[in-house]
């Protein structure tokens, strides 16, 4: 299947890096996060990528133009506008997406099993499958009686709800629900899918971590070192 990676955002919350490079080019243990994302899909036999460029897209272009890739891998770099929203970026790729395709954001990593994700999508026969993950818990919980702690529970992500973790399987018909460049993928299009019961969630309990802030980057690198998940 073709794989779309949204890589055009400003990454303003990671300004320590994104003043000079786009967020997908921020390195995780010496390798740009977008390369690690590509490596994950390639490990499941997906070799054709469409990268939706925007902010500082030239940096990403230069990276791939100067990189020796596996001959099986095909990287298509598409300029989707500097100020285009997530839905709009995907909409601009319509002419390339005539069959079921995969998509993810260019700023998160996961051990999600792509083969099982696709199987789940085909079984449910809906327009859109998203990968649901539990957000990493940040705080432990305590109860206080008087001045004494009567209850303490270490932070546990199982106490949190499910969130959109990216890593989607999408039918091309979905693209008709996106109006224009100003459309956020996660708003009106998702709301329409939900009302029509055409959006399903594949639950992933394993490794997942986004990279929105410097703290997220540090956590991501620590997790990779501990789990030895990504090479």
Domain count, the chain: 1
Structural domain including 106 reads 2-227
The Cα–Cα gap between 173 and 36 comes to 29
pLDDT, tens digit (0-9, with 9 covering 90-100), for 83-130:
999 999 999 999 999 999 999 999 999 999 999 999 999 999 999 999
Average pLDDT score, the chain: 90
Whole-model pTM: value is 0.89
CATH number at residue 25: 3.90.550.10
Predicted pLDDT at 66: 86
Residue 208 burial by Cβ neighbours in a 10 Å radius (0-12, 13-18, 19+): buried
Predicted pLDDT at 161: 80
Instruction: For residue 14, give the DSSP letter.
Output: G
Does the pLDDT value for residue 152 go beyond 60? no
Q: Phi/psi at 117 (nearest 5 deg)?
A: -60, -45
């Amino acid at each position: 299947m073709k794989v779309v990676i949204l890589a055009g955002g400003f990454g303003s919350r990671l300004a320590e890096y994104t003043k000079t490079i786009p967020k997908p080019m921020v390195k995780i243990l010496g390798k740009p996060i977008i390369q690690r994302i590509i490596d994950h899909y390639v490990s499941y036999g997906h070799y054709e990528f469409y990268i939706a460029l925007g902010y500082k897209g030239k940096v990403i272009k230069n990276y791939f133009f100067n990189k020796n890739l596996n001959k099986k891998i095909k990287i298509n770099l598409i300029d989707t506008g500097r100020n285009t929203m997530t839905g709009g970026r995907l909409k601009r790729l319509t002419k390339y997406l005539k069959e079921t395709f995969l998509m993810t954001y260019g700023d998160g990593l996961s051990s999600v099993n792509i083969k099982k994700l696709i199987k789940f999508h085909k079984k449910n026969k809906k327009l859109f499958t998203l990968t649901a993950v539990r957000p990493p818990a940040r705080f432990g919980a305590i109860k206080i009686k008087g001045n004494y702690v009567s209850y303490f529970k270490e932070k546990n992500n199982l106490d949190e709800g499910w969130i959109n973790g990216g890593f989607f399987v999408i039918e091309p018909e979905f693209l008709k629900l996106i109006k224009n460049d100003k459309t956020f993928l996660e708003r009106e299009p998702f709301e329409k899918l939900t009302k029509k019961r055409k959006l399903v969630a594949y639950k992933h309990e394993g490794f997942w971590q986004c990279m929105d802030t410097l703290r997220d980057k540090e956590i991501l690198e620590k997790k990779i070192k501990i789990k030895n998940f990504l090479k």
